[in-house]
Structure 1
Amino acid sequence: MSSRFVLPAEDVLRAREKLVLDHFRDEVAHDWDATLSTFPHPHYEIIAQMLVHDGDSAVRQYYTDTRVAFPDQHHELISFRHSHDAVIVEFWLLGTHTGPLGAIPPTGGTHRTRMTAYFIFDENENLVTERIYFDQLTVLKQLISGIDKRKPSGLRTLLRVLKGMLAMSGREPDPRLAETTPPELSGP
C-alpha cells in the first residue's frame, strides 16, 4: 500500500474521477448495470443510518427502494477532491418524495440535501466502497415542511411519517460501521 502522504499519478486521479462521474451519471439514468459495473463488488455504507448494502442484490435493492421513494432523484455536484485512496465528492441530492421510504409514507415534499461521498479505491485501483455522509434530519424536515398541519389529512400524514420514523429508528447499527479501530499513524 502506498503512503497516505503521497497522491497517485495524475493519470490515476483522472481515471478515478472519470469512474466516479460515470457512476453519478448512471445512477441518475437508473442504469443499474452500468452503475454496478464501476465496482468489482458493490458496497455502500450509509453513515447517517449506519447501514451497509453489500453485494449486487443488496445494492440493487437499495437503488430500487430509494428510487421508489424519489423517482426523480438527481445530483448537483459541488466539488471533487482527491486523496491517496479516494475521490471525495460534495454534492446536493435532490428529489420528490412520491413513494414510501422504508416505513415512511410519501409526503409529496421535496428535498435538497448537501452530502459528501467517499469513493474508496484499493491498491489495484478498484472502487471498493461508496461511503455517504449526510444529515437525515435535514431531509426529513424538508419532506414534512409541505404537509398542511391545519388539515386533518395533513395531521394523519404527519402522524404516519412519525410512526414510520420511529419504526425505522430501532435498527441496530451495522457492526462494520459501529465497531471501528483507530488508524495506525506511525510509520511512512
Structure 2
Amino acid sequence: MTSEDLKQRRLEVLEEHFASEVEKEFDRTIATFDGHPRYEIMATGQIHDGEEDVLTYHRAQRTAFPDQRHDGVTHHFADDDTVISEFELLGTNLGEFYGMAPTGKSFRVPVIAVFSFAAGTDRIVNERVYFDSASVLLQIGRGEVLAWAAATAEP
C-alpha cells in the first residue's frame, strides 16, 4: 500500500508536470520522469519515447497551440503506482499543425491521462493520454483531415 506521504509527493510531481508543460519549461517536465520520459497518445497511436522524442513532441504541440493549457484538473489514485488525471485541454491553433497553416480557431476537449509511477517513488515512468482527436480537428477547422483518413482507411 502506498503511504500518504508518497501519495502527496506524487500529487506535487503531477502539479509540477502540468505547470511546466503550460509554462513551456520542458526541462522541468522531463525532470518529473524517472530519467526516461515516455508519452503514449492513444488517439493517434503516437509513442514519444526518450528525452529528445518527448521534447520534439512538446515543441511541435506548443508551436501549433502556444496557449495550450489544462482546466479543472482532478487526480484519482487507481492503484499503488497509477494516478488518473482528468481535465479539459484547451488551446488555439496559432502555428503550423502537422504541416498545415494555423486556423486561429480554438479547441476544448476532455482528457484522461494515466500516469504510471516507478514503484515506491514519486517519478513518472509513462503518461498515457486519452482524448477525442476528431473533436480537436473539427473545432480547429480541420475536418478535411477526418475526410482524408476515412477515404484512405483500409476496410
Residue 57 of structure 1 aligns to which amino acid in structure 2?
E
The correspondence for 1:35, drawn from 29, 35, 48, is: 29
Residue 35 of structure 1 aligns to which amino acid in structure 2?
T
1:135 corresponding residue in structure 2: 132
Structure 1 residue 122, shift from structure 2 partner: 2.0
Displaced runs of 4+ in structure 1, greater than 4 A? none
Which whole-Å deviations, capped at 9, do the CAs of 1:86-139 have from their partners, x for residues lacking one?
A: 111101111000112113331111001110101101224231001100000111
1:149 corresponding residue in structure 2: none
2:148 corresponding residue in structure 1: 166
* Separation in structure 1 between the aligned mates of residue 126 and residue 68 of structure 2, nearest angstrom: 21
* Separation in structure 1 between the aligned mates of residue 104 and residue 54 of structure 2, nearest angstrom: 25
* Separation in structure 2 between the aligned mates of residue 63 and residue 52 of structure 1, nearest angstrom: 13
Matched-pair contact (CA < 8 Å) for 1:26–1:35: yes
The correspondence for 1:25, drawn from 19, 37, 41, is: 19
1:67 corresponding residue in structure 2: 62
Structure 1 residue 51, shift from structure 2 partner: 0.7
1:9 matched to 2:3? The reply is yes
Which whole-Å deviations, capped at 9, do the CAs of 1:8-34 have from their partners, x for residues lacking one?
A: 111111111110110000111100111
Q: Superposition RMSD on alpha carbons, in Å?
A: 2.1
**Which has a greater percent of strand?**
2
Task: Give the gaps of 5 or more residues in structure 2.
Answer: none
Percent identical among aligned pairs is 38
1:48 corresponding residue in structure 2: 43
Distance 1:163 1:14, change over 3 A: closer
* Higher Cα Rg, which structure: 1
Say how many residue pairs are matched.
149
Tell me the SS of whatever aligns to 2:11. Answer: helix
Matched-pair contact (CA < 8 Å) for 1:100–1:106: yes
Structure 1 residue 140, shift from structure 2 partner: 1.1
TM-score (norm 1): 0.73
The correspondence for 1:86, drawn from 67, 73, 82, is: 82
Distance 1:123 1:78, change over 3 A: closer
* Separation in structure 2 between the aligned mates of residue 78 and residue 32 of structure 1, nearest angstrom: 19
* Separation in structure 2 between the aligned mates of residue 28 and residue 11 of structure 1, nearest angstrom: 26
Structure 1 residue 77, shift from structure 2 partner: 2.6
